[in-house]
Structure 1
Amino acid sequence: MLGSKTQDEVLSHGKTIISNLLAGATAGGLAKSAIAPFDRCKISFQINQTPFSAKAAFQFLKNVTKNNGFLALWRGNSASMARVLPYAAIQFASHEQWKRVLGIDQSNSLSKDEFEYRRFIAGSLAGVTSQSLTYPLDLARARMAVTHDSEYATLKQVFRKTYREEGFKGFYRGYVPTFLGVIPYAGASFFAYESLKQWYSSQPGSTGKPSTIVLLSFGGISGFCGQSLSYPLDIVRRRMQTDVITKQNYDSIIGTLKSIYKNEGIKGGFFKGLSMNWIKGPIAVGISFATYDGVNDFLKRILSRI
């Protein structure tokens, strides 16, 4: 990361990984908690055929608060934290490791095209790594967010019911569209963020290290790019994850794609709720990336003294 090369050279490999993991978990937890109500609203619209609008989204949030209390807007957030903390920790730490494996830190020996290609691949592999290792928790969060069924009230209950009714493969229902979607999402997000920081540091008069506000802005732009590219597959993922609750028979990627297109069209189906994602997504990614950089630099300074 920018501004941490000297610290990386001083720290042992083990301490560097510890710093990456802790900073990633902190960044992910803070970002996800900030946009949890919007996330619940988005998922609710994603899994059914109700047309999305800003008015309908506001009404959903209002009804949840009125019927179940303000804190109900964070229903499923415990499952979210149980997934996001390890997910973000693994994603950021693995991104640093994939950069090392791909030789991105030794960019002077690479052509510009090869460097940019490897930068995108490192981000994609980080997303695939973290998504694969934490996917059952993502499925549990989605199911908890879309139902008031008492059998889906806690992580333990979700896992028990899923295993009893669907077997082990039930924990990875919807994994394929998730896998396909995280490649452009994580790849574009990390690529854009790292490229913007590099561009900033090359500008005349630049101190080389962007301010927190600048990092938040760069993260927001990165999140916008990543989510726009992968959103249709996010719709498919949610439909398949929650099919046992909604009873819509979303058994396969192709079948789900056909059903969404037939019943809702392209804009109303594959991009339903995208406008809300353009609000919450950049906020979450901006907070996540900026927090990671700040916390990671802080932890490296602390660990370098131990």
Structure 2
Amino acid sequence: MAVERLPENGGRHGSEGGSETRRQLSGGTVVVTSLVAGAAAGAVAKTTIAPLDRTKINFQISNTPYTWRGVFIFVQRSVRTEGWTALWRGNSATMARIVPYAAIQFTAHEQWKRLLRVDTPQTAQEAPLRHLVAGSLAGVTSQSATYPLDLARARMAVADYRSLRAVFKRIIREEGAFTLYRGYGATVLGVVPYAGVSFFTYDSLKHWYLDYTGALPNGMTNVVFGGIAGALGQTSSYPLDIVRRRMQTARRCPDGSYPYPGILPTLATIYHTEGWRAFFKGLSMNWVKGPIAVGISFATYDHIKSLLRDVALTFATVGEKL
């Protein structure tokens, strides 16, 4: 079974630093702590920026030009007509998706780095391309496992559904089960640069900080590094995010066709009807919410993972002494 070597003095930060004297955690413990930490990180980050997420989706799927004034009008109208809770509409679907998504993504990233042999600062710096690929593969792994939940979340954000179950029942009854994977191709094409750039940037900044200061970053430094990673990752994949949302939320026409039947037709339709600026509609909001979400997510993940592995090492040490 695979093991992760952790420093004996508190167990912080896995193979990225610590003393020469090391203990070992079993592969099962490494995976479980990654899953729990990833799930918590995703839940905290997405709940924090849920109102901004819903507002962004509303502009992404409409022909309404994006402006910050329009954002305030949308938020004000939603609160006035539906109450403050309307800004978190669809968040239950988001949680149902983001908890397994983040858990799988962070865990897959650690495993892909291990398989590609870029799981230490030294090997990551020696093979930057493999390091980038590890992040991309983690994104594809998690997105593939949870895609129907992402589509349901997008539908709930723009329409009034009572529950996540109601979304699935209505889609399957009216449009067919295959519809649950509409926009999957655009999503995977987008997640490759997004996850790759995000993980690569975050890890690279941590490695640079370690080389420069001799200590691993923590707390607010991790939030800042995560924010930079999120801004770069989301900017690199944003046009495909627009395509994905249009395909996910488009309702089937009476003749059985869809307004956005595929990636290329969707790109062409958006360009001809709204111009190239439409591919970056809401991006400025992403520069606000994206870095916040990714920063919180990475920092929360690192903190909880280290905490859990410290606890696991403590129990392992006590067990050895009994």
When normalised by structure 2's length, the TM-score is 0.89
Aligned length: 298
Q: What amino acid is aligned across from residue 215 of structure 1 in structure 2?
A: N
Match of 1:119 in 2: 131
Q: Is 2:251 the counterpart of 1:241?
A: no
Q: What amino acid is aligned across from residue 310 of structure 2 in structure 1?
A: R
- For residue 184 of structure 1, the aligned residue among 193, 201, 210 is 193
Distance in 2 separating the partners of 1:64 and 1:199: 44
- For residue 97 of structure 2, the aligned residue among 70, 83, 94 is 83
Any stretches of 5+ residues in structure 1 without a counterpart?
Answer: none
**Misfit runs of 4+, over 4 Å:** 6-9, 106-111, 245-248
Greater Cα offset, 192-201 or 4-13:
4-13
- 8 Å contact kept, 1:3–1:208: no
- 8 Å contact kept, 1:147–1:245: no
Match of 1:47 in 2: 61
Match of 1:19 in 2: 33
Q: Is 2:103 the counterpart of 1:103?
A: no
- 8 Å contact kept, 1:143–1:245: no
Distance in 1 separating the partners of 2:234 and 2:140: 15
- 8 Å contact kept, 1:120–1:191: yes
- 8 Å contact kept, 2:109–2:137: yes
Distance in 2 separating the partners of 1:47 and 1:56: 14
Distance in 1 separating the partners of 2:124 and 2:41: 31
Deviations 1:11-30 (A, max 9, x none): 10000100000000000000
- Aligned pairs for 1:267-306 within 5 A: 267=277, 269-306=278-315
Corresponding residue SS for 2:314: coil
Corresponding residue SS for 2:119: helix
Corresponding residue SS for 2:64: coil
* CA-based RMSD: 1.9
Distance in 2 separating the partners of 1:245 and 1:213: 46
- 8 Å contact kept, 1:8–1:16: no
Q: Is 2:10 the counterpart of 1:3?
A: no
- For residue 145 of structure 1, the aligned residue among 153, 157, 162 is 157
Distance in 1 separating the partners of 2:124 and 2:135: 18
Q: What amino acid is aligned across from residue 249 of structure 1 in structure 2?
A: P
- 8 Å contact kept, 2:252–2:259: no
Match of 1:32 in 2: 46
Distance in 2 separating the partners of 1:279 and 1:37: 12
Corresponding residue SS for 1:104: coil
Any stretches of 5+ residues in structure 2 without a counterpart?
Answer: 1-5, 7-11, 316-322
Higher relative contact order (CA 8 A, sep 6+): 1
- 8 Å contact kept, 1:26–1:85: yes
Q: Is 2:265 the counterpart of 1:258?
A: no
Distance in 2 separating the partners of 1:127 and 1:35: 20
TM superposition shift of 1:164? 1.2
Distance in 2 separating the partners of 1:138 and 1:177: 13
Q: What amino acid is aligned across from residue 163 of structure 1 in structure 2?
A: I
- Identical-pair percentage: 53
- 8 Å contact kept, 1:19–1:300: yes
Match of 1:226 in 2: 233
Distance in 2 separating the partners of 1:12 and 1:73: 42
Q: What amino acid is aligned across from residue 60 of structure 2 in structure 1?
A: Q
Deviations 1:126-156 (A, max 9, x none): 00000000000000000000012xxx32111
Distance in 2 separating the partners of 1:283 and 1:42: 15
Higher helix share: 1
Corresponding residue SS for 1:66: helix
Say if 1:109 and 1:273 are closer, same or farther in 2 by CA, change over 3 A: closer
Larger radius of gyration: 2
Distance in 1 separating the partners of 2:124 and 2:184: 34
- 8 Å contact kept, 2:234–2:286: yes
TM superposition shift of 1:168? 2.0
